[in-house]
Amino acid sequence: MPVATRRTEDVAAIRSQIRAFLENAPRPSGLRDYGPTPTAADVAPGRVWHKYLAEHGYVCLHWPAEYGGADASVAFQAIFAEECARAGVPRQLAITAIDLAGPVLIKFGTDEQKSRYLERIRVGDDIWTQLFSEPGAGSDLASVRTKAEKTATGWRISGQKVWSSAANSADYGLLLARTDADRHRGLSMFVIPMASPGVSVRPLTQMDGESKFNEVFLDGVEVGDDALIGEVGQGWAIAIMTLGRERLTLGSQAVAMFRLHERMVEAAREHDLLDPVLARSMTKLWTRMWLLRYTWQRAIDAGDTSSAAFSVLKLMTSETDRDLGDMATEVLGTDACADPADNELVHHMLVGRAQTILGGTSEIQRNILGERVLGLPKEPR
């Protein structure tokens, strides 16, 4: 039965149904839970998996039904994310196309843009990358310097982007560029075909050996007027909506930490390191994870995805994930030097700290919460 027809909020029934589906789903060779972003090697099995989910109504859960989505409640989305983490499978091909680009196109795109892009996103034909951050404009996106200049036939775009997830596998980019000098009203949003002349991608090798992030260089890239999303100067408002959706998605990581914590306990026992001091630390971390889980549930129950609770979740989830990674050094002993490709805990030890940087640094999140939620004076700039 398609997800869109299941309107019951019986949590136990929903969870049982999703769990049974995932347990019985055929898994393509090479599929792993690579998280929100596939590496180049993950794309082929990830696409097969995504298409299977799409055939059974388990993708685009938050999209309206008229665009092929399930129009599912936030609670349903959270349960699906939780059960995918439990089953050790990705919940979709990649984060950017469905969770970020799709909602932007649905709200701001033309009918032609929706027709051209949305269905291919839904079925996993196209991968998208987010072209927001720059070497001099990471968390401060209003400082973007990539320029889009008007031409007789469209726009000419030049600049550099960085930390662009899956750009080396992407078909399209969601690009924030400057069309005017005004700090906020001078930004506009574009769709960039990544195969366009003038686009070059340089993968960045992470300390775990993977290459999920990239530098992207745009050297006089020509696009038509139909590449503009929304109106000229509307890019900042679109970017804010996109970042809110990204932080909602990142906050949902709270549901995926318990399996990793269980592996930490197993490793500590295997290495005979589970003494009272380590046990106390692991219990405190376990308590924080449950607090996150219940905060996530309260935010879901409220049904307001713009709630400040999601900013709190992004901040606290990132820092808990970091501390979970740091704990790996205490439970692995000399195995901490193992190849991260062969050891899940070593891998998390290396990448856990990145969670406090991507999607908005912890420092920026604290500023947002202090200034916009608590009403504290703005930080001197």
Backbone phi and psi for residue 194, each to the nearest 5 degrees, phi listed first: -70, -15
Instruction: Provide the pLDDT for residue 145.
Output: 96
Both tokens of 337, joined, read 């030097």
Superfamily of domain 239-373 in the CATH hierarchy? Butyryl-CoA Dehydrogenase, subunit A, domain 3 (1.20.140.10)
Q: Among residues of the chain, what percentage have pLDDT more than 70?
A: 92
**Highest mean pLDDT: which of 141-145, 164-168, 326-330, 366-370?**
164-168
In terms of Cα–Cα distance, which of 151, 152, 157 is closest to 174?
Answer: 157
250, pLDDT greater than 70? no
* DSSP SS3 for 370: helix
The strand pairing partners of 160, in sequence order, are 217
Residues identified as active-site: 246
- Fold assignment, 3-122: Butyryl-Coa Dehydrogenase, subunit A; domain 1 (1.10.540)
Please check the confidence at residue 133 and state whether its pLDDT lies above 90: yes
**What's the pLDDT tens digit per position in 342-362?**
788 888 888 888 888 877 788
Rounded to two decimals, the pTM is 0.86
Q: Please report the pLDDT score of residue 71 as a whole number.
A: 93
Q: Kindly report the CATH class assigned to 128-233.
A: mainly beta
Looking at the predicted structure, is the pLDDT value of residue 3 above 60? no
Three-class SS state of 42:
helix
Check residue 1 and report its DSSP letter.
-
Predicted local distance difference test score (pLDDT) of residue 5: 40
Beta strands in the chain (DSSP E): 128-131, 147-150, 154-161, 172-178, 187-193, 199-204, 213-224, 228-229
Strand partners, 213: 204
Per domain, the residue ranges of the chain are: 3-122, 128-233, 239-373
User: Over the chain, what is the mean pLDDT?
Assistant: 89
- Residue 253 above 90 pLDDT? no
User: Do 128-233 and 239-373 have matching folds?
Assistant: no
When pLDDT is averaged across residues 172-199 and rounded to a whole number, the result is: 97
Does position 311 have pLDDT exceeding 80, yes or no? no
Distance CA 260, CA 332 (A): 13
Report the alpha-carbon angle 357-358-363, nearest 5. 35
pLDDT of 332 strictly over 90: no
- Are 79 and 14 in contact by the 8 Å Cβ rule? The answer is yes
Query: Which of 66, 98, 84 is closest to 21 using CA atoms?
Result: 84
The pLDDT of residue 6: 43
In 307-349, beta strands by DSSP E: none
